[in-house]
Amino acid sequence: MSVVPAGVLPGVTAVAEGEARQAAVLAPRARLWPSLAAVYRAQLSRVRVARIPLLFVATFQSVGIVVMMRGVVTGDGGARAVVAGSSVLVVAYVALNLLAQYFGQLRAGGGLDHYATLPVPPAAVVLGAAGAYASFTVPGTVVTAVFGCALFGLPLGNLWVLLAVIPLAGAALSGLGAAFGLLAPRPELATLLGQLGMSAALLLGVLPADRMPEPVRLARDLLPSTYGVEAYTRTFAAHPDWAVVAADLAVCAAVGVVSLAAATWAYRRAAVR
């Protein structure tokens, strides 16, 4: 029996190609939340290896700032700003600095090609990595807040507000950190951008706002973590205005949605190159 070359039967070839296209169209599309959970677990396992150095550096830095500012600030207003700003700084260190480094190295090392071959939405990759890194900020943030309150004599009754501040401020800063890493042409530049962002969170978030000149205050209002700091600062009052606290947290949430959307766009842009 003679074998007929495929090129002699164009109709057969066309049918095979049509069936292949139909199979590709009918292939099940990966859903966001299962993909997000899978990426989060994978990233959590990877980050867990470095959790002790990560927690130690971030927490030690913030606690050191609290101790240093103890001899500088005066009055309850300054103490509240220092404690709240130093607590959120733990989130900024991880979300801005480390996440920018991670995505910068992932892009430079070809790691994005691996994720591009997986049937997961880009948003799941960004959110999964951001969530894994942010998970390790909770102990350091709580330790810094408790230590700062004890050092400055501030109440601990509303410490639970950090349960809202950490994920919302973390989402806003994680989106920026991921975008820095994905858009930077070189990993060194991604690291530089992450460190600059963390420095801005330190200078604009820890120092009391009433001691800043007006142009610096305007810059402070543009920093997403500022609203998380303000929300936590207001809870130290004898009778907190919870409506204003909720408004600050809502701003954090809105900026978080925008920044994570920007990071997802940056991921798509970097993945196709």
Token code pair at residue 139: 């102990």
In a domain, 23, yes or no: no
Specify whether the CB–CB gap between 66 and 144 falls below 8 A.
Answer: yes
In a domain, 162, yes or no: yes
User: What domain count does the chain have?
Assistant: 1
User: Of 132-136, 176-180, 243-247, which gets the smallest average pLDDT?
Assistant: 132-136
Neighbour-count burial of 245, counting CB atoms closer than 10 A to its CB (0-12 exposed, 13-18 middle, 19+ buried): buried
pLDDT at 16 over 50: no
> What's this model's pTM, rounded to 2 decimal places?
0.83
Neighbour-count burial of 260, counting CB atoms closer than 10 A to its CB (0-12 exposed, 13-18 middle, 19+ buried): buried
pLDDT at 8 over 70: no
Rg (CA), the chain: 23
At 20 the pLDDT is 46
pLDDT at 177 over 90: yes
Specify whether the CB–CB gap between 142 and 166 falls below 8 A.
Answer: no
In a domain, 10, yes or no: no
* Domain, as residue range, for 56: 30-271
152: closest CA among 238, 89, 72? 72
In a domain, 212, yes or no: yes
In a domain, 25, yes or no: no
In a domain, 182, yes or no: yes
At 51 the pLDDT is 65
In a domain, 157, yes or no: yes
In a domain, 140, yes or no: yes
Token code pair at residue 88: 């959120």
At 88 the pLDDT is 94
At 22 the pLDDT is 46
pLDDT at 13 over 60: no
Cα–Cα–Cα angle for 91, 253, 98, rounded to 5 degrees = 25
Count other Cβ atoms within 10 Å, centred on residue 123: 19
At 12 the pLDDT is 43
